[in-house]
Amino acid sequence: MLKIVGIGDNVVDRYLYKKKMYPGGNAVNVPVLAHKTGRAEAAYIGTVGTDYAGSHIVDSLKREGLDVSHVKIKEGETAYADVTLVDSDRVFIGGIDGVSHDIEITEELKKYMAGFNLIHTSCYSGLDEKLPELHKIGVPIAYDYSDKPHWNNLKRTLPYVTYAIFSGGSAKEEELKVLMEGVGTHGPKQVLMTMGSRGSMLYDVESRKFYQQGIYPVENIVDTMGAGDSFIARYFVGIYDGEAIGESMENAAEFAAKNCLVSGTFGYETDIK
């Protein structure tokens, strides 16, 4: 059974065009969505501000059943990302990190994290310099590298990562496969690539085999914000429950499609304050 702890970025996604905001952040979303399957234990470690956004994030996580005993509240502003609509597509137009990068890896925190079987973090978490310390805990690390602008320092972080996750955008499939094979030579066990409407790919380093999965069709889409994180979360749930790679990817695609019927990544809409 998956026991996942997310550490790092939290954010409120502020949908300016409808004056609403939702809790999110990669290190928040994946454990929340894994827990939603009913087949994972989940926790989040991070720092929020002393504002309404911070309390809304923590309250949402509590209501989802996550362990938030190691969330720190610090004087200051919670991270946010502003979203607008351009030709019916969501576009991020700015935001701040706020206090979210203020995370100290204490001995007590390391002992706590050792009780999980997967640590999840991301390029937005400000933890790259602390990855060697996290790696020494002995728990596999999943790291989301997001899209191409964040791929500049891969060799610095990959030796400490078990599952490397990327968003391929519109890049050609063959180019992405070359990247994934290269990534696999620097430490990760598996390399996952989400590609939006083109589905996903996975490269298993040990077998040197590529797997591909299309998207599941869904009508009346509400919001695609959480599709990628939903896929990743359900993939890990499956793998840790003994599903084969292809089976887990297929189930993850279905889970991601269903998540597109929810506003925000996992709901909890509130007014921007």
Q: What is the pTM of this model?
A: 0.96
Element of type H or E holding 29: helix 26-36
User: What letter would DSSP give residue 205?
Assistant: T
- Indicate if the pLDDT at residue 87 is higher than 90: no
Q: Amino acid identity of 128?
A: D
Query: pLDDT of 49-80, one tens digit each?
Result: 999 999 999 999 999 999 999 999 999 999 99
Determine the Cα–Cα distance for residues 237 and 244; give it in Å rounded to an integer.
Answer: 11
Query: pLDDT of 217-262, one tens digit each?
Result: 988 989 888 999 999 999 999 999 999 999 999 999 999 999 999 9
- Indicate if the pLDDT at residue 89 is higher than 70: no
Determine the Cα–Cα distance for residues 269 and 116; give it in Å rounded to an integer.
Answer: 30
Given this model, what pLDDT does residue 88 score?
A: 60
Query: pLDDT of 168-203, one tens digit each?
Result: 988 999 999 999 999 999 999 999 999 999 999 999
Contacts of 4 (CB under 8 A, 6+ apart): 30, 31, 34, 40, 41, 42, 43, 116, 117, 118, 119, 120, 236
Determine the Cα–Cα distance for residues 99 and 73; give it in Å rounded to an integer.
Answer: 9
The domains found in the chain, sorted by start residue, are: 2-271 (3.40.1190.20)
Element of type H or E holding 167: strand 163-167
Phi, psi of 150 (to 5 degrees): -105, 15
Separate counts of helices (H) and strands (E) for the chain: 8, 14
Determine the Cα–Cα distance for residues 29 and 46; give it in Å rounded to an integer.
Answer: 13
